[in-house]
Amino acid sequence: MPFQTQCYYCQHIVQAPNEAMGGSGRCPKCQCTFTLVPMEQSHGVATRAQAADRTEILTTAPAAARETTAAALADDTLVTQSPNMAALDAAVAAAEESYAPPPAASVERSIHPVGAAALFFGAAGLVCASFALLRILTIPLAVLGLLTGATALLMLQGRYVARRLWAFPIAGTAVSGVVLFVALFFPALLGPVYDAGRDSAAFDQRAIQAVPLSLDAKQGPLSDEGGWTDASRAALQQGPVRVEITGVTFGKVDFRPAAPKGSKDRFLRIHLRLQRVGGSGKIEYTHWGRLTNGALPVLTDAAGKPYRMVQFQDDTLIVGQKIQTELLLGTPMDDMLVFEAPPGGVALRLEMPASAWQGAGVFRFHLPTHFVGP
């Protein structure tokens, strides 16, 4: 005996044969599938979620499957199925097999431009730390690289992109962050140029200070009351320029290129080492023998007897001497002073004008007898 049933979705009332009770049918009005039960039992039998799942699948099914299912529809006739839902399950299976998610958007670029810019800024900051004139850009470039890298990472967040696009943003952020951290807290790791440049303002440009060559404090003061510094124990520094006497020996000197055989007489050779330990700008060193102001080093003994600084012809160069050069940060420069030979076994005193490197005042060294070689 036929019975009346009501569509769960659109509330349309249709008539179904008795043998279809408990099965599934499609509403001729809204085309949704629902369980066929008499109207007084239809509420609560099927949930909306279950029906919605099947409806969604069928709407995405291939056209052939939809046409097959809809062929049995009449104007106001309910399409019924047996309880096992064989035909509907076949259509659902066909839809599931043919359905595929839409392909992901193709990634045309393999390098993220903003990430590459972040890596460039971080690397540029690291390179600038090695140059005296550019080291001031190290921290600003590192900050810029860090911000650019963070922006690139935010641009990629939540997007489906190839993994290779993450490489430059991550690398740029990491490099810039490390450079900034090291520049702020461990500047010595960026090299002597950057480390010394940070402390350039701390140098006293006029005061001459003794710098010990060793940490042994048991030998007394480095300088006496007259301001003479023991050359065997300390160097002298004014501003960023440090001068050390590395040795005092007697012997002949070699020339280049006019007289390769060297001198016939023995002289006193004082070996110097000049080093720039900081500061900014260019520092030129000119040997005292080539200075136009006539300021020459003075060598005397304890009794005050002077010994003349030896100068040869202008075209004669002494091996071991520097005529003119630039003092580079972290690069020692060796030079040599030549004096007429004093008698052996005497202590000497050496005065060197700081005008050779645009300094002020005079460096005074005491050369003890044990420091003067044979």
Domain ranges of the chain: 3-98, 113-198, 208-371
| pLDDT digit string (tens) for the chain, length 374 residues | 788 888 878 888 888 888 778 788 888 888 888 888 887 765 544 444 444 444 443 444 444 444 444 444 344 444 444 444 455 455 545 555 554 554 544 444 678 899 999 999 999 999 998 887 788 899 999 999 999 999 999 998 887 777 888 999 999 999 999 999 998 888 878 887 777 665 554 566 778 989 888 876 566 788 888 889 999 999 999 988 999 999 999 998 887 765 556 667 889 999 999 998 877 778 899 988 887 777 889 999 988 999 999 877 656 678 888 888 999 887 899 999 999 999 878 899 999 999 999 888 999 999 999 998 77
Domain boundaries 208-371, corresponding CATH code: 2.60.40.1240
pLDDT reported for residue 249: 93
Nearest by Cα to 268 from 354, 195, 339: 339
Q: Return d(Cα 269, Cα 261) in angstroms, integer.
A: 17
223 vs 214: CA distance, rounded Å: 15
Question: Tell me, what's the pLDDT at 185?
Answer: 87
The β-bridge relationship of strands 362-367 and 229-230 is: parallel
DSSP 236: E
Model pLDDT, residue 328 = 87
Query: For residue 218, what pLDDT is reported?
Result: 61
* Full-model pTM: 0.50
pLDDT the model gives residue 214: 82
**Rounded CA Rg of the chain:** 47
User: What Å distances lie between residue 291 and 146, 197, 297, 298, 340, CA to CA?
Assistant: 50, 28, 11, 15, 20
How far apart CA 30 and CA 364 sit, in angstroms, is 108
CB 283 within 8 A of CB 354: no
Rounded Cα gap, residues 253 and 263, in angstroms: 6
Work out the number of other CB atoms within 10 angstroms of the CB of residue 256.
13
Residue 68: the pLDDT is 43
Return the SS3 of 298. strand
